[in-house]
Amino acid sequence: MLQQATFSPELVKALAISASPLKVSEKWGFRENQRVVAQAVTNLPIQIHPGTILYVWEDGTATVKFDYQIPFDTERELVKCGRVDLHYLNRISS
């Protein structure tokens, strides 16, 4: 006998957003072309890496162009699917 799973509309929407987030112009005070520093916090001392936000996504992530090649372990901590979670970023005042 086959069983059919049912999903709530909220779950379907959440899964769709997480699979393919929409690009937005601003989220939580972060916006495109804004200078930021990313903080890698798993190892001490805490490392900061400057860069520029290229795109901000609806799911709370951003595509960041770093000023230089960051170390592999740091990239593995900060970058997931080509995007950095906004909680790793701090805005640089201009």
- pLDDT of 36: 93
Report how far residue 40's alpha carbon sits from residue 49's, in angstroms, rounded to the nearest whole number: 8
Which residue type, as a one-letter code, is found at position 80?
K
Mean pLDDT by 10 residues, the chain (94 residues): 65 62 83 89 81 89 87 80 85 78
Other CB atoms closer than 10 Å to residue 39's CB: what's the count? 16
- pLDDT of 20: 67
The answer to whether the pTM exceeds 0.85 is no
Lookup: tokens for 43: 């190892």
- pLDDT of 83: 84
Report how far residue 1's alpha carbon sits from residue 8's, in angstroms, rounded to the nearest whole number: 23
For CA atoms 36, 90, 80, 24, the dihedral sign is negative
Contact between 36 and 52 under an 8 Å Cβ cutoff? The reply is: yes
- pLDDT of 35: 93
- pLDDT of 70: 81
